[in-house]
Structure 1
């Protein structure tokens, strides 16, 4: 990890415009949770629905998109990445440093609010708070790697990532049975189910599938992003 790259990446992510976007997601989750906590409905069902579908299925991928693409896509678009690539620094180290910063930022703006929201709605009963927090941590890391890769591969990373987050994860991943095996949200739910009390969380994907898929996605996205960034370096030098 390179401290200079990390500092520059963090400064870019927490800039005025992007910083506001990062605050909107946890604020929305906490607002919905506060309203739900005062509802007379089944607290367990409300908590599972809000944290599973809204939190893991919609807000987390959107936050991962903002952070993952923001960690590098802006530098590529405005050409400032050339100055970074001119340094005698391995390209994989640039990617891994940016990924560490992206993951840490995603955790700060997603995992902590998820924990607070679950405690607000359901307390510590059935281990839901811990289960969904663990799911958010692991799925958040996978999303960060995926969208960081997207930021390196295409100049339309935000549009492509938004389509993925809203169509695949929020819509298809929730309602099309065959697609659930390839959904980060469903993999996260599998972790939540494993951590929470028996029967507290349902997940269509088994833990034996979810964990390897999360690892493969995270590692593969990081490696591919490093390879692609090396290609950009060669293009610049030519």
Structure 2
């Protein structure tokens, strides 16, 4: 692990992601989720169905992928866009180490700004009745890993990574992932929901994908996206050297 993690790269990435402007963007949706949860609890009281609807329909389907876009693309895309990545690549640091370190930072930030607020929201909504808060927190954490890898990859392959990420998050995950039956099986949201389904009691959380298939798909997508991002970064280095 130590050979794949570089503290200086991590520190610079954290600084870029948690700057004032980007930190405000990251915090906006979690604050909104908590505010909605407080308002709903005050108006309707504790209700498992309502908690499932908010945590599944807003937290997991919308908030987590959008935070993943901000953290995943923000971990590398700005450096490529402004050319400062050249200085990073000039350092004696292996390219896979750069990518893996940035992925770890993106995952940590995405989990902090999505899984933690999801758990707090669940506690507010129904006090973790039927383990709904715990289930969706686990789903948000699992989804954070896959989204971070996917959006980090987008940051290496296109200068319009944020736009591409938003289209993926809002159109594919939020719309097709909820409404189109065939697309659900190819949705990170549904894969992570299978984890939540296993944890929650009473069958209140459901997924169109079985847990074994979901684990395999999450692993393959995360590993493939990370590998290809490293490959693209190496190609960028070679192009610069030539």
Answer whether TM exceeds 0.5 for this pair.
Answer: yes
What is the CA-CA distance between 1:41 and the residue it aligns to? Answer: 7.2
Q: Which residue of 1 aligns with 2:95?
A: 91
Question: Does the 8 A contact of 2:72 with 2:152 survive in 1?
Answer: yes
Structure 1 residues without counterparts, runs of 5 or longer? none
Q: Which residue of 1 aligns with 2:14?
A: 10
RMSD of Structure 2 on Structure 1 (CA): 1.0
What is the CA-CA distance between 1:40 and the residue it aligns to? Answer: 2.5
Q: Do residues 221 (structure 1) and 194 (structure 2) align?
A: no
Q: Which residue of 2 aligns with 1:117?
A: 121
In the TM superposition, what whole-angstrom CA distance separates every residue of 1:4-29 from its partner, at most 9, and x where no partner exists?
Answer: 00000000001111111011011011
Q: Please, which of 188, 192, 202 is the counterpart of residue 184 of structure 1?
A: 188
Tell me the secondary structure at the aligned position of residue 38 of structure 1: helix
Structure 2 residues without counterparts, runs of 5 or longer? none
The equivalences for 1:29-108 within 5 A come to 29-40=33-44, 43-108=47-112
Question: Does the 8 A contact of 2:49 with 2:204 survive in 1?
Answer: no
More displaced stretch, 199-208 vs 215-224: 199-208
Equivalents in 2 of 1:97, 1:122: separation in Å? 37
Equivalents in 1 of 2:235, 2:101: separation in Å? 18
Normalised TM-score (structure 1): 0.98
What is the CA-CA distance between 1:175 and the residue it aligns to? Answer: 0.4
- List, as ranges, runs of 4+ consecutive aligned residues in structure 1 with deviation greater than 6 Å: none
Question: Does the 8 A contact of 2:26 with 2:113 survive in 1?
Answer: yes
Q: Do residues 19 (structure 1) and 19 (structure 2) align?
A: no
Normalised TM-score (structure 2): 0.96
What is the CA-CA distance between 1:124 and the residue it aligns to? Answer: 2.3
Equivalents in 1 of 2:221, 2:65: separation in Å? 14
